[in-house]
């Protein structure tokens, strides 16, 4: 495998001497091993054989120069459960990680949900959250920031990247979901059913938590609109894989 063929987004505000980060694209050209889901699918809860998922995780491990034993993966349940960790492995019932451990890669898997990456390069604290609408209305974003602050981070130093995810024009919901969003983030007029602004909710929560506007980058692309770049559960249903949001403290931070 030629790992240079793997395509990622590299958030500019979270790649530097102390913190590195990635957001994996679909990479649909990967189709060996008679995959049921083409691409760099790292979703171990997706409809793919586990040997293929492990193969993909090994590709990811090599690309980010991190041994598998130093990669933390969440068995996500759309909760606001956050774990402060210092070692790799698979963590059950978890939707966010926070750490101060150098060399440990925090990984969240997403299709239409947002991967929210956090890093304080001065205090050397990082975090990552899986923010679908359930997690977002459950305040997983401000709760992750609180956990980071508890480890020594400062809100005005935290930089944030929100990945491509479902955008308002494609995010149709029922009233039972729309009613959980602030009115300003719900469009009840333009469509037959309400549409909600997940990215707007995450952004507002970041600013309300003390994150500076200049330190926030939101990728405005919608996962549904870009079939060649992103997996989308709403578009592909059971044939959808999962992309990876990844953040790591460089080991040089110990010096």
Distant-in-sequence contacts of 125-128, Cβ < 8 A, 24+ apart: 125/98, 125/99, 125/100, 125/151, 125/152, 125/153, 126/19, 126/98, 126/99, 126/100, 126/247, 126/248, 126/249, 127/82, 127/96, 127/97, 127/98, 127/99, 127/247, 128/96, 128/97, 128/245, 128/246, 128/247
pLDDT at 4: 53
Contact 104, 248 (CB under 8 A): yes
Asked if the structure places residue 180 within a domain, the reply is: yes
pTM of the model: 0.96
Q: Which domain holds residue 157?
A: 3-249
Please state the domain count of the chain: 1
CATH classification at residue 115:
3.60.140.10
Measured CA to CA, the distance from residue 250 to residue 142 in angstroms comes to 25
**Three-state SS at 94:** coil
For residue 255, being part of any structural domain is answered with no
Q: Distance of CA 217 to CAs 1, 2, 166, 182, Å? A: 32, 30, 16, 22
What are 101-150's pLDDT values in tens digits?
999 999 999 999 999 999 999 999 999 999 999 999 999 999 999 999 99
List, for residues 158-202, the tens digit of each pLDDT value. Answer: 999 999 999 999 999 999 999 999 999 999 999 999 999 999 999
Reported as a pLDDT band with limits 50, 70 and 90, residue 33 is: confident
CA distance 23 to 223: 13
The alpha carbon of residue 41 and the mean position of all alpha carbons in its chain are separated, in whole angstroms, by 14
- The reply to whether 195 falls in a domain is yes
In a domain, 254, yes or no: no
């Amino acid at each position: 495998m030629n790992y240079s063929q793997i395509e990622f987004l590299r958030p500019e505000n979270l790649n530097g001497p102390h913190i590195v980060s990635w957001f994996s694209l679909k990479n649909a050209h990967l189709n060996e091993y008679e995959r049921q889901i083409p691409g760099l699918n790292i979703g171990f809860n997706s409809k793919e054989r586990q040997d293929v998922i492990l193969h993909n995780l090994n590709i990811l491990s090599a690309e980010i120069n991190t041994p598998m034993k130093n990669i933390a993966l969440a068995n996500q349940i759309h909760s606001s459960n956050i774990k402060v960790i210092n070692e790799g492995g698979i963590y059950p019932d978890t939707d966010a990680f926070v750490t101060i451990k150098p060399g440990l890669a925090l990984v969240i898997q997403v299709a239409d949900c947002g991967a929210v990456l956090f890093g304080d390069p001065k205090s050397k604290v990082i975090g990552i959250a899986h923010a679908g609408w359930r997690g977002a209305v459950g305040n997983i974003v401000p709760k992750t920031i609180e956990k980071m602050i508890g480890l020594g981070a400062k809100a005005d130093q935290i930089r944030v990247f929100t990945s491509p995810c479902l955008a308002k024009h494609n995010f149709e919901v029922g009233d039972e979901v729309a009613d959980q969003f602030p009115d300003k983030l719900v469009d009840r007029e333009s469509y037959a059913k309400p549409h909600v602004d997940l990215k707007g909710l995450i952004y507002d929560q970041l600013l309300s938590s003390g994150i500076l506007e200049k330190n926030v980058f939101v990728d405005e692309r919608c996962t549904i609109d870009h079939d060649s770049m992103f997996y989308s559960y709403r578009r592909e249903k059971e044939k959808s894989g999962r992309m990876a949001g990844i953040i790591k403290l460089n080991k040089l931070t110990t010096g």
